[in-house]
């Protein structure tokens, strides 16, 4: 036990002495949490919109005015010809183009209906889908108005049957993205810092030769490993704490669940990450390799975690793969506990899987750390 304390003490000293690293460990994650949480939004607004009006009728003007008034569409630009408009799409100046042909109003009155060409830049398929919904909704609303204006007298004899939907958005009534993203990004930052630091740590001693010196001492494998990992565990928990405080103060994210529960889960989760880092460290000879492998896994973990894109939409095999992703579990848990107030029994499956993961990773780490070769 006393031996472990010596190692812990040494690690802390080394961390706090490295002036280049301190801001990276403590300031950078916090800055990123504050800034980047604002960036992660799938909301589609400020849509870059342009139009061609060849009709110049009152209907076409009214239609354009509808778009102008909508808060979703921004930067209304007018193009005199299709050529100019299409090169604007190519340049990326506009993403949605409305093309009102000549005789639009006349044909509408004559035929009682008319079609209208909309062009949407669909490279971002999801955004294009949403843009399409917005356009359709605006035009539908316009249709209703049109009907009232053009058919003042025509009463409908048969009243249609209407199904009304009452949407209720629980836990996040205003559909605020930050509520969703801040906890997730916090998970990422905690994961990255602890994984990178632990992944580099032992391999660094290997590279500078001090590990050999340690190996000839009577120190026990697990003492050494615990002593090495404990400081990073503390840093991870500290980062979580700072992140939670900021989430509350800056982003006003609710915390409905139990704080001790979240800390309990996190304390086990960080063990998984540390074990993983150590395992990587044991299998590599240089810091460069260790970093590279950690990076490889981190990118996959981030993008397969359900943090940014929903796991449910992935094909089944990919969903099964995410079962091996510890980040996924933590992202789920932190969102459940913070935003929904889920309790112990709700997160129990994730807690158990994470604990199992921690046991396996640390078992592998201790097993693969050899004092002898």
Partner 1 sequence: MSNENVIQVERLTKTFGNFTAVNAISFEVKKGEIFGFLGANGAGKTTAMKMLIGISKPTSGEATIAGFDVYKHAEDIKKNIGYMSQKFALYDDLTVKENIAFFGGIYGLSRKIIKEKSKHLIEELGLVDVANKLVGALPLGWKQKLSFSVSLLHNPKIVFLDEPTGGVDPITRRQFWEMIYKAANQGTTVFVTTHYMDEAEYCDRVSIMVNGKIEALDTPKKLKAQFKVEHMNDVFLKLARHTE
Partner 2 sequence: MKRFKGFITKEFYHIFRDKRSLFILFGMPIAQIMLFGFAITNEINNVDIAILDHAKDINTTEIINKISASKHFNINQYIEKESDIEAIFKKGKIKAVLNFENDFSKKLVKEHQASIQLITDATDPNTANTISNYLNAILIQYQKEINQDITLNYQIIPQTRMVFNPELKSVYMFVPGVMTIILMLVSAMMTSISITKEKELGTMEILLVSPIKPIQVIVGKVFPYIFLSIINAIIIVTLSLFIFKMPIQGSILLLGLESVLFIITALSLGILISTISETQQTAMMISLMGLMLPVILLSGFIFPISSMPLPLQLISNIIPAKWFIIIIKGIMLKGVGIQFIWKETLILIGMTVFFIVLSVKNYKIRLE
- Positions touching partner 1 (CB under 8 A) are 2-3, 5-7, 9-10, 13-14, 17-18, 208-210, 212-220, 371-373
CB of 182 to partner 2, least distance (A): 12
Q: Which of 120, 76, 79 is nearest to 97 (CA)?
A: 120
Which one of partner 2, partner 1, none is in contact with 245 (Cβ closer than 5 to 8 A by kind)?
none
Nearer to partner 2, 73 or 224 (CB): 73
Nearer to partner 2, 4 or 189 (CB): 189
CB of 284 to partner 1, least distance (A): 18
Q: Name the token pair of 208.
A: 């500078």
Nearer to partner 1, 15 or 116 (CB): 15
Q: How many whole angstroms separate alpha carbon 94 and alpha carbon 269?
A: 45
Q: How distant is the alpha carbon of residue 117 from its chain centre?
A: 35
Provide the b/e sequence for 166-182 (b: ≥16 CB within 10 Å): eeeeeeeeeebbbbbbb
Which one of partner 1, partner 2, none is in contact with 214 (Cβ closer than 5 to 8 A by kind)?
partner 1
Provide the b/e sequence for 18-50 (b: ≥16 CB within 10 Å): eeeeeeebeeebeebbbeebeeeeeebeebbbb
Which one of partner 2, partner 1, none is in contact with 371 (Cβ closer than 5 to 8 A by kind)?
partner 1
Paired with 51 in beta bridges are: 78, 98
Paired with 47 in beta bridges are: 73
Nearer to partner 1, 61 or 204 (CB): 204
Contacting residues for 300 by C-beta, under 8 A, at least 6 apart: 325
Nearer to partner 2, 44 or 359 (CB): 44
CA distances (Å), origin 193, targets 126, 147, 188:
32, 60, 9
- DSSP three-state, residue 74: strand
Nearer to partner 2, 102 or 126 (CB): 126
Q: Name the token pair of 116.
A: 């209208």
Provide the b/e sequence for 106-136 (b: ≥16 CB within 10 Å): eebeeeeebeeeebbbeeeeebbebbeebbe
Q: Which of 342, 326, 324 is nearest to 334 (CA)?
A: 342
Nearer to partner 1, 10 or 106 (CB): 10
CB of 154 to partner 2, least distance (A): 7
Nearer to partner 1, 198 or 305 (CB): 198
CB of 8 to partner 1, least distance (A): 10
Which one of partner 2, partner 1, none is in contact with 185 (Cβ closer than 5 to 8 A by kind)?
partner 2
Given a contact cutoff of 8 angstroms between Cβ atoms, the answer to whether 355 and 204 are in contact is no
CB of 14 to partner 1, least distance (A): 5
Torsion sign over Cα 106, 111, 117, 118 = positive
Which one of partner 2, partner 1, none is in contact with 260 (Cβ closer than 5 to 8 A by kind)?
none
CB of 209 to partner 1, least distance (A): 3
Which one of partner 2, partner 1, none is in contact with 289 (Cβ closer than 5 to 8 A by kind)?
partner 2
Nearer to partner 1, 31 or 208 (CB): 208
CB of 218 to partner 2, least distance (A): 29
CB of 61 to partner 2, least distance (A): 14
CB of 103 to partner 2, least distance (A): 14
């Amino acid at each position: 036990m006393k031996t472990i304390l010596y190692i812990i003490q040494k690690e802390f000293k080394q961390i706090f002495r490295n002036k280049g690293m301190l801001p990276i460990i403590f300031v950078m994650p916090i800055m990123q949490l504050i800034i980047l949480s604002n960036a992660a939004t799938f909301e589609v607004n400020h849509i870059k919109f342009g139009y061609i009006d060849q009709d110049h009728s009152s209907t076409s003007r009214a239609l354009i005015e509808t778009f102008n008034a909508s808060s979703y569409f921004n930067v209304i630009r007018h193009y005199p010809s299709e050529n100019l408009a299409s090169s604007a799409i190519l340049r990326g100046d506009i993403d949605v183009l409305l093309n009102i042909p000549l005789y639009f109003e006349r044909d509408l009155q004559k035929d009682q209906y008319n079609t209208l060409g909309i062009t949407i830049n669909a490279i971002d398929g999801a955004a294009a889908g949403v843009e399409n919904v917005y356009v359709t909704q605006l035009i539908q609303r316009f249709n209703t108005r049109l009907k009232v204006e053009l058919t003042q007298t025509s009463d409908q004899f048969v009243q249609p049957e209407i199904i009304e939907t009452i949407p209720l958005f629980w836990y996040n009534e205003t559909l605020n993205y930050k509520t969703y993203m801040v906890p997730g990004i916090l998970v990422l930052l905690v994961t990255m810092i602890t994984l990178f630091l632990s992944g580099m740590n032992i391999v660094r001693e290997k590279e500078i030769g001090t590990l050999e010196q340690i190996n000839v001492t009577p120190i026990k494998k697990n003492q050494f490993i615990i002593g090495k990992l404990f400081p990073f565990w503390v840093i991870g928990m500290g980062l979580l704490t700072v992140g939670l405080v900021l989430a509350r103060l800056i982003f006003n994210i609710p915390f409905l669940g139990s704080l001790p529960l979240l800390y309990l889960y996190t304390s086990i989760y960080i063990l998984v990450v540390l074990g993983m880092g150590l395992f990587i460290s044991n299998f590599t000879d240089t810091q460069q390799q260790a970093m590279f492998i950690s990076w490889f896994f981190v990118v996959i973990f981030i993008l397969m975690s359900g943090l940014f894109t929903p796991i449910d939409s992935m094909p089944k095999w990919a969903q099964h793969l995410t079962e091996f992703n510890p980040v996924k579990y933590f992202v789920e848990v932190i969102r459940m506990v913070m935003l929904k107030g889920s309790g112990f029994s709700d997160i129990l499956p994730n807690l158990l899987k994470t604990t199992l993961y921690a046991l396996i990773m640390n078992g592998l780490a201790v097993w693969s750390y050899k004092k002898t070769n």
